Structure 1
Amino acid sequence: MGCAAARDPLPAHEKIGRYASVVPFYKALDSLRSGQATEPVTVLQIGDSHTANDSFSDQMRTLLQKDFQNAGRGFLQPGIPFRYYHPAQVTVSSTGWTPVSAFSKTAAGPWGISLVRQHADTPASMTITPDEAGGVGRGMVEFLSQPGGGQLVIEADDGGRTAVSTASSQDSDSMWLRMPTTADTHSVTVSAMGDGPVDILGWEVAKGSQAKPAPGILYSNLGITGSTIDILSRVDPRILSEEMRRLNPRLLIIAFGTNEGFNTSTNFDTYSARYEQIIQMLRNAAPMAGLVVVMPPDGVRQERLPPFTRSCERLAPTGKGFASPAALNTVRQAQIDVARRNHWMQWDWRQAMADTAHPDGRCTILVWGNRNPPVAAKDHVHLLKAGYQQTATSLYDDLMNGYKLWNSLKHKK
């Protein structure tokens, strides 16, 4: 009698459900928790203005670093990329640099994952100072090498200095330069000397030393106000590949959808395909990373034409004349379908705003804005700091529920 064939193991997504795409991150967390990690675990959150505002991401950063060690601030957009830029854990100043954003249709690349660069033709400087001592034990600066490029100088406040020419006979490409830091460094200044164009794509500060990085969590938020998922199609593939190799993220959090849902120009005939293709591009560039796709939070606008079929009036005391844009629901459904098809973890930001009176979270932006004190902004699209913190805690708790499930399954083997 022949032996019965061994039963094939269940696919990961059937064992652990919606958390299957996050398993690489859970493995990295396990390494930190066990004390075996010799390097930090990097999280990259990429998105629109909800990401550019560091309130949501900083709450995630705070919670992760509290439970899995603080390795420093991590990779940031360079200098001051936009007005009202207030990154957590560091202070940044800048003079003489001009921010150039991939959001501008007339701005030429190449672009990295920060989707912004700082340009200078004349003398310019930018300084980064971590709030915590030891927060810049090590660091890197990402810049463009380009024909006619000028001199770039990196100076630490305790005397370290590195200078390099950014000139190259080749087409523009990204290069990385170590910051000349020590355990006593408190701040680092990056300067262009004014002898040719200099372009900075990003910079990273972290704890530990160049030879021995501190283990723990690095959490980067890379957001461009007004952007859609399509902005990532402007990233140069060669630059992206090198960035992902160096940053080595273990979790990608992709959070777009608000602007697609409020824009009247979104092409929904091809949106699902573009959304899927761009996220696959990121996954291919960072094959060791887990993935969470985030659907947009609740948002409403005033209805100006009858029949007002989507009115929030029945759902919120202040909802008369306001409604969720129909396109926002189309975006949400497209993202849900893509995530399910690929077994990617999806997290519903609007659902995280739900309560018993609003079980699906629709029109809650009005309720949140009417609280005392309010936790949503008057534009009925963005949250205030407390609202971002509350919803970030919801995502964190969800991820940790998956981590507990993964651990329980791991110990059953």
Structure 2
Amino acid sequence: MLTPGVAPAAPCDGPVCNFETLGPWADRMSGASEPGRPPVHILQVGDSHTAGDAVTGAWRGMVQGQFGGGGRGVLPPGRPYAGYQTRGVSVSMSPGWRIDSTFGKGARLINPLIGMSGFALTSTAPGQRMALKADTPEMAFDRVVLCAFAGMYAKSVTVRTDAGEQAIDLTSDIAEPRCATLHFDTLQMQVELIADAGPVTITSWATFRDNGGVAVSNLGIVGSQLLHFSRTDDAVLREEMRAYAPDLIVLAFGTNEGFGPRIDAVAYEAVLRGQIERLRTLAPGVPILLLGPPDALSRNAALRGPGAVECGDGLFTPAGLDQVRRVQRKVASEMAVAWWDWQARMGGICSARSWVTQAPVRMRGDYVHFNATGGEDIAVQLLSDISETLFEKRS
């Protein structure tokens, strides 16, 4: 049964599939340069490719250079893990925050409810703080959004900018996620959150500039899979989707599923279908773009199962990656979801080897992750396909 508002499905035969379903986002992009309106918001969730911001950062730079900057977008609260990268802004926090997550070191049997960032930070002492500073005037902002938990034992959090201080009230008769939005008459370069009235749990925050342009948010957890995103809470996600109002949701998982010693394709397909339906329910009318995993190689013998392709020098493509792509292609075709074959746009099977060994070097020596040059190349390829299949046909 077709979800209301979703375009009919088309067979996914090539590297670009169902991009016509991105039409509502393309309509917003056509007016992205108009001043005096919120920016077009692209929200990507995924694994280390998203967390590293090589591709999303290049994408952000390109569209903001063309249409104008709309701010840094949504970020996990504070600095949730070692090596956390925040291209375009600098983020700091005081020690002592409790860090919970859907995957990794902060994943526990009993976690606070977690939203789209995959993290929740809870203050453990009075006066704990986190701060964000724009690295350049282009990342200045006039809107701050803070998503946290309200409840009987919650108090308030102080938001400090150069425009002064404001308190966000988090008291409530029931425990519930709450996103608060602050607007400023002038552009701000920094914001600080202070938990000075009692414990507070923050699930995400964001900075935007409401004068047209584009914001590209990258929310990724190193090593994560789509299954881990499914652990996020519906109520938190619904409130965050309302507050952050994405115009396009990009799902960029699959590498870690494909690098497992064994992938259950049936179980993976069920998770993928379930999360697409879930996002369509929690963010109705927002188109979804599914990115297939890029080409990646390994020398780990445990991953050399049936279907692995030898690429020379002991390197091979884990068979699980191809299974992931096949499932994604099938689901995209049947559910009318836009899908992009990242591997094909790199040059196909074993292309990761040349991306590491030939100039210009575009991937790191792990044959999995991209450097800045590679991220820019991928962003150019993706934008070229989007332009050719969406915008040029409309002009």
Question: Smaller-chain TM-score range?
Answer: 0.7 to 0.9
Q: 2:180 aligns with which of 177, 182, 189?
A: 177
Contact map agreement 1:377 1:383 (CA 8 A) in 2:
yes
Say if 2:21 is the partner of 1:26: no
Say if 2:266 is the partner of 1:293: no
Q: Structure 2 stretches of 5 or more lacking a match?
A: 1-6, 11-15
Summarize the Cα distance change of 1:184–1:310 in structure 2 as closer, same or farther, 3 Å threshold. closer
1:140-155 matches, cutoff 5 A: 140-155=145-160
Aligned to 1:125: 129
Calculate the TM-score normalised by the size of structure 2.
0.88
Query: Residue 282 of structure 1: SS of its match in structure 2?
Result: helix
Summarize the Cα distance change of 1:63–1:13 in structure 2 as closer, same or farther, 3 Å threshold. farther
Moved runs in structure 1, 4+ residues, more than 4 A? 11-14, 305-313
- What is the CA–CA distance in structure 2 between the aligned matches of 1:180 and 1:280, rounded to whole Å? 33
- What is the CA–CA distance in structure 2 between the aligned matches of 1:387 and 1:303, rounded to whole Å? 24
Q: 1:198 aligns with which of 200, 215, 220?
A: 200
Summarize the Cα distance change of 1:311–1:116 in structure 2 as closer, same or farther, 3 Å threshold. closer
The Cα offsets for residues 175-195 of structure 1, whole Å up to 9 and x where unpaired, read as 1233474415321100112x5
User: 1:143: how far off?
Assistant: 1.0
- What is the CA–CA distance in structure 2 between the aligned matches of 1:307 and 1:24, rounded to whole Å? 42
Query: Residue 230 of structure 2: SS of its match in structure 1?
Result: helix
Summarize the Cα distance change of 1:162–1:307 in structure 2 as closer, same or farther, 3 Å threshold. closer
User: 1:340: how far off?
Assistant: 0.9
State the AA in 2 paired with 1:391. Answer: I
Say if 2:356 is the partner of 1:363: no
Alignment size in residue pairs: 378
Aligned to 2:249: 252
Q: 2:166 aligns with which of 142, 162, 167?
A: 162
Comparing 252-261 with 72-81, greater Cα deviation is found at: 72-81
| CA RMSD, Structure 1 to Structure 2 (Å) | 2.5
Summarize the Cα distance change of 1:287–1:302 in structure 2 as closer, same or farther, 3 Å threshold. same
Aligned to 1:116: 119
- What is the CA–CA distance in structure 2 between the aligned matches of 1:373 and 1:387, rounded to whole Å? 9
State the AA in 2 paired with 1:294. Answer: L
The Cα offsets for residues 103-159 of structure 1, whole Å up to 9 and x where unpaired, read as 12435131111111222111311111113337122211111113423541111134x
Aligned to 2:272: 275
Aligned to 2:319: 326
Aligned to 2:329: 336
- What is the CA–CA distance in structure 2 between the aligned matches of 1:406 and 1:146, rounded to whole Å? 50
User: 1:258: how far off?
Assistant: 0.5
- What is the CA–CA distance in structure 2 between the aligned matches of 1:304 and 1:178, rounded to whole Å? 51
1:342-381 matches, cutoff 5 A: 342-354=335-347, 361-372=348-359, 374-381=361-368
The Cα offsets for residues 348-379 of structure 1, whole Å up to 9 and x where unpaired, read as 1111210xxxxxx2122222111345321222
Contact map agreement 1:31 1:37 (CA 8 A) in 2:
no
Contact map agreement 2:304 2:318 (CA 8 A) in 1:
no
Query: Residue 152 of structure 1: SS of its match in structure 2?
Result: strand
Q: 1:229 aligns with which of 219, 226, 229?
A: 226
Query: Residue 291 of structure 2: SS of its match in structure 1?
Result: strand
Query: Residue 265 of structure 2: SS of its match in structure 1?
Result: coil
Calculate the TM-score normalised by the size of structure 1.
0.84
- What is the CA–CA distance in structure 2 between the aligned matches of 1:256 and 1:305, rounded to whole Å? 21
Contact map agreement 2:305 2:319 (CA 8 A) in 1:
no
1:381-400 matches, cutoff 5 A: 381-400=368-387
Aligned to 1:3: none
User: 1:406: how far off?
Assistant: 4.0
State the AA in 1 paired with 2:51. Answer: A
Contact map agreement 2:36 2:211 (CA 8 A) in 1:
no
Aligned to 1:188: 191
Contact map agreement 2:304 2:316 (CA 8 A) in 1:
no
User: 1:57: how far off?
Assistant: 0.4
- What is the CA–CA distance in structure 1 between the aligned matches of 2:17 and 2:301, rounded to whole Å? 42
Say if 2:140 is the partner of 1:135: yes
The Cα offsets for residues 281-302 of structure 1, whole Å up to 9 and x where unpaired, read as 1122222322211000111212
State the AA in 1 paired with 2:193. Answer: V
Give the structure with higher Rg (CA): 1
1:90-101 matches, cutoff 5 A: 90-96=89-95, 97-101=97-101
Query: Residue 366 of structure 2: SS of its match in structure 1?
Result: coil
State the identity as a percent. 29
State the AA in 1 paired with 2:21. Answer: S
Contact map agreement 1:312 1:321 (CA 8 A) in 2:
no
Query: Residue 113 of structure 1: SS of its match in structure 2?
Result: coil
The structure whose RCO (Cα within 8 Å, separation 6+) is larger is: 2
State the AA in 2 paired with 1:89. Answer: G
Q: Structure 1 stretches of 5 or more lacking a match?
A: 1-10, 208-212, 355-360, 409-413
Query: Residue 83 of structure 1: SS of its match in structure 2?
Result: coil
State the AA in 1 paired with 2:37. Answer: T
Comparing 304-313 with 229-238, greater Cα deviation is found at: 304-313
The Cα offsets for residues 230-270 of structure 1, whole Å up to 9 and x where unpaired, read as 12221211221121122221111111101111123643222
Aligned to 1:357: none
